Structure formats: C-alpha cells, structure tokens
Amino acid sequence: MGGAGELLVALAEAFGPLVELVWPIFGLFARLSLFFMLVPVIGERAVPARIRIGFAIMTTFLLYPVLQEDLLALRDAGVVQLVATEALTGFVLGFALRLAVHALQILGMVVSQSLSLSQPLGEGIASEPNTTISTMLMLAGVTLLVSMNLHVALIGVLADSFATMPLGTALDLQASASWLTQITVGLLRFCLSLALPFVILNFAYNLILGFLNRAMPQLLVSFVGLPGMTLAGLFLLVICAGAMMTGWVEMFVSLMAEAG
C-alpha cells in the first residue's frame, strides 16, 4: 500500500498543474485536429480518422512545452469561445493547403477535356469520381509530398502559425476570406498556365479539323484525327508531367511558408 500511495502522490504532483489547463489544451487540440483532417497526405480519405486524431493528439503533446506560457494565460478563458476559435483557425489553415490538391484535380480535368479523355472516371483519393488524369496527378502530388517528409514540415507550419495567430485570438473572418480567395485565384491561374499547352493543342486540332471538313465533307475527319490528337496529347503529357509536378511542389512549399 505504501508503494501505491507514493505512486498516487507522485502522479498527483506531476499532473496536478495540468488540471487547470485541460480546456486550453483541448482548444489547442481543436486547432490541430481540424488542421490534420484537411491537409494533404494525412487528411486523405484513405487514411482512417483514428490515425488523424492520433496524429493530432501526439502533436498536441509535442507542442505543449513550447506553448505552455500561452496555455497558462488562457486558464480563465471561455471554453466554448476558445474551442470554436481554435477549430476555425485550424480549418482555415488546413483548407488553404487542401486547395493545392484541388488545383491538381482541376488541372487534370482541363487536360482531360483537351485530350477528349474526360469520360473515363474512377475512384481516386477524392470522395467523388475523377478523370484518370486527375487521379494520376493527385496521386503523384501526394506521393511527392510523402517523399518530402511532409509531416515534419506541417508541424513547423503549425508552430509558426502560433506567432501570427496566437492561441485564443479571434480570427479575422474578413481577412481570412480574402486570403483564401487570393489563394484560390492564384491556384486557378497556376492550373490554367500548366494546362495551356494542352489547350493550344486542342485548339490547333479543332482548327485543322475544320479546314479538313471544309475540304473533304464526305470524310469523317473526327474519326481519323481524334486518335492522333489523343496520342499526341498523351505524348505531350509524358514530356510535361515532370515539369508540371515540380512547379506544383514549389507552389505548395511557398503556400506552406505563407500559411505559417
């Protein structure tokens, strides 16, 4: 009994100061859990929710020593307001990085439309069916992020975010909406610039097809030229895929730096 009593006393001394920090730590966990539910790789549909929650719990304990003073200052803060504020902050940060994966999805859709390959759909890493090229680009992007030790970089992004958006600070909704809008516009511009060679190829194909149709109305030029255009587009995709993914990774790294 004496040993058990000493153990209980030691546990009370160790965890006693943490009792008053339960809700501040829960607010920190709210930000991390929403963030890891949305970010690429960890927030993918194929990753079970319990693994994401476990990752958030481990990161919470990892960041606790760094944010201990900030957590102590929030002992008397309102519980509901604290948790809601931190959850919204985590959602904004995670959604900003998730938009980069949606950019690859849009890029694949534009390329598929240009190559007349938009009809074959299949299951990918997204919840809805996508074109084959979209699935390929998203899988390639997520694989590149895994090879770059993204989980370490994400913890750095979270640690830096507490300097710009401290714990318990109300999020400026107007500024956050404007920031997400700018990111969305920039990603759309980036996707369209990467898909420009395929759009130009599709335009040239249809232009030549129009001239051939005028010259030989009796020839079904679409059945003759469509396989060639698709083959040329796939060859162009093979040539440009490396440069496209390199540019996307650089864009994602700059987006992480901006989010942090």
Q: Dump pLDDT digits (tens) for 166-196.
A: 887 778 888 888 888 999 898 889 888 888 8
Of 22, 23, 41, 43, the C-alpha closest to 33 is: 43
User: What does the pLDDT read at residue 15?
Assistant: 56
Alpha carbons 254 and 258: distance in angstroms, whole number = 6
Tokens of 156: 């750095």
Q: Are 131 and 117 in contact (CB under 8 A)?
A: yes
- Give Cβ neighbours of residue 130 (< 8 Å, ≥ 6 apart): 105, 108, 109, 121, 122, 124, 138
Quote the DSSP letter at residue 39: S
Q: Say whether pLDDT at 122 is over 70.
A: no
User: Which pTM value belongs to this model?
Assistant: 0.79
Mean pLDDT over all residues of the chain?
80
Alpha carbons 260 and 248: distance in angstroms, whole number = 18
Mean pLDDT of the region 41-58? 83
Alpha carbons 252 and 24: distance in angstroms, whole number = 31
Most confident stretch, 20-34, 135-149, 150-164: 135-149
Q: Say whether pLDDT at 9 is over 70.
A: no
Alpha carbons 251 and 254: distance in angstroms, whole number = 5
